[in-house]
Amino acid sequence: MIAAIAILILLVLLAIRVPIGIALSTVSIGGIIALRGTRPAFSVLGSLPFDFAASWSLSAVPMFLLMGAIAYHTGLTRSLYQAARLWFNPLPGGLAVASNFASAGFAAASGSSLATAAAMGRLAIPEMLRFGYDKGLATGTIAAAGTLGAFIPPSIAFVLYGWYTQQPVGTLLVAGIVPGLLTAGAYCTMIILRCRANPALAPRAEVPGGRAEKFRALRDIWPMPVLVLCVVGGIFSGLTTATEAGATGAFFALVIALLMGRLSRAALLTAFMEAIRTTASIFFIAIGAMLLTRFLAMAGVPRMMGDLVESWNLGVFGVIAVMVLVYLVLGMFLDPIGIILLTLPVFLPMFEKLDINLIWVGVLVVKMIEVGLLTPPVGMNAFVVKNIVGDAVELNTIFRGLSWFLVCEVVVVALLVAVPGLSLWLPGLM
């Protein structure tokens, strides 16, 4: 009963926009006081934040963030869109297709959906609007393609999920590659079919450049394949752990920027400060979630959830269906990291009770929190794009454009649920 009341209070606090880290921590400490008294509550508050922050596996988070920040602020990602635009322009909706694949490339550096949408939005949306692209298509493409940041390694969401569930982070990062490429392929297929059926959505853009210029553009994007190879290749081959791969990626981003003459003191300082701020924000939310986990354990919620799974006889796909529904609802209001750390204390006992493969579930969890970034009324990627375009595009136009991408997501999620091998095949080769 105490846990139920606490969760209700937590939902109210989140609904009135109390920062999620503060809401989680306040409710958790208050719940522990109600259960055990002030001494155990302050004992947990004194030890748990340090134990969390000192976790070795979580040091991958600032390393991946630093790699992406260095790559972005030193201009290593700048040529991605130009190269994609030259190569994909002949296709129907060529600039939208180019934006989609360029976002996948940027995601490989940033590991963040919001950062991918913000960076690519500044580059690609003005260009598509200049050539007369439908406003919903242009903005929807960027908002949706931003979600690839959670799947193409490195991925902060996978690092946190792996740390919480005690699954190998490297395996999770590799497991996200095929679903990420599948999502990008589904987006591109939809864009091409829509623009072929209705050419007015995407007037053909005349982009100057012959064969020689196309190959020159490929030469300019070499830093990104090198960084991806350092991170993914090291993890896949077993030469590095996820943390070591993050440190290697950050180091090589620094070296490449230095060799190309793009590493200024201002860019380096900005990159470090951005990585520090984002890490602190993520850790603050995660510490609140760990306090909630401790409180729920004291209240007996995990045991109760396990018993409910047995009594309801939901089965694997029943629990997955409930999880999908919960993430769709929460995704309308909360940020992705908060959703993961808020829900895992409840869902993990269910997964373990049914002996569900936690790597496969991890892919589904990350996929659903990314879908939540696109759903109204508070699809965060849509608001990032709205912030970029200002009054030029209405928010309802952005959500209208996103509706087509949500159809693609329904197909992709159905495939990932029905065919677990899409998530597990590549990790099986490690």
Across 51-59, average pLDDT: 75
388, pLDDT greater than 90:
no
Least confident of 87-91, 348-352, 358-362, 408-412: 87-91
Rounded to whole angstroms, the Cα distance separating 346 from 44 reads 20
With beta carbons less than 8 A apart as the criterion, state whether 271 and 74 touch. Answer: yes
**Same domain membership, residue 108 and residue 18:** no
**Same domain membership, residue 303 and residue 392:** yes
Q: What range defines the domain where residue 384 resides?
A: 55-263+299-428
**318 in a domain, yes or no?**
yes
Tokens of 96: 């939208």
**Same domain membership, residue 353 and residue 248:** yes
Across 321-340, average pLDDT: 76
**416 in a domain, yes or no?**
yes
**Same domain membership, residue 1 and residue 100:** no
For the stretch 130-150, pLDDT in tens is 888 888 888 898 888 888 877
With beta carbons less than 8 A apart as the criterion, state whether 300 and 340 touch. Answer: no
**Same domain membership, residue 38 and residue 73:** no
**214 in a domain, yes or no?**
yes
Complete DSSP assignment for 160-196: HHHHHHT--HHHHHHHTHHHHHHHHHHHHHHHHHHHH
**273 in a domain, yes or no?**
no
Across 344-371, average pLDDT: 86
pLDDT above 90 coverage of the chain, percent: 9
**Same domain membership, residue 38 and residue 76:** no
Least confident of 62-66, 116-120, 300-304, 338-342: 300-304
Can you give the pLDDT at residue 378? 63
**Same domain membership, residue 13 and residue 118:** no
- How many domains, in total, are found in the chain? 2
Chain-centroid distance of CA 370 in Å reads 6
With beta carbons less than 8 A apart as the criterion, state whether 292 and 335 touch. Answer: no
With beta carbons less than 8 A apart as the criterion, state whether 169 and 158 touch. Answer: yes
Q: Which residues contact 359 (CB under 8 A, 6 or more apart)?
A: 167, 171, 172, 175, 423, 424, 427
**Same domain membership, residue 40 and residue 9:** yes
> Which SS3 state, helix, strand or coil, does residue 377 take?
coil
**Same domain membership, residue 31 and residue 101:** no
Q: Which of 271, 298, 325 is the last residue of a domain?
A: 298
**Same domain membership, residue 15 and residue 154:** no
With beta carbons less than 8 A apart as the criterion, state whether 349 and 372 touch. Answer: no
**268 in a domain, yes or no?**
no
411, pLDDT greater than 90:
yes
351, pLDDT greater than 90:
no
**Same domain membership, residue 213 and residue 155:** yes
pTM of this structure: 0.76
> Which SS3 state, helix, strand or coil, does residue 333 take?
coil
**275 in a domain, yes or no?**
no
**279 in a domain, yes or no?**
no
For the stretch 171-187, pLDDT in tens is 888 898 899 889 989 99
pLDDT band of residue 321 (cuts 50, 70, 90) is confident
**Same domain membership, residue 153 and residue 137:** yes
**271 in a domain, yes or no?**
no
Q: Which residue blocks in 207-354 are alpha helix, DSSP H? A: 211-220, 223-228, 234-237, 242-259, 265-298, 301-312, 315-331, 336-353
Can you give the pLDDT at residue 117? 79
Tokens of 38: 């002030």
Alpha-carbon separation of residue 276 from 52, 69, 156, 195, 271 (angstroms): 17, 10, 14, 42, 9
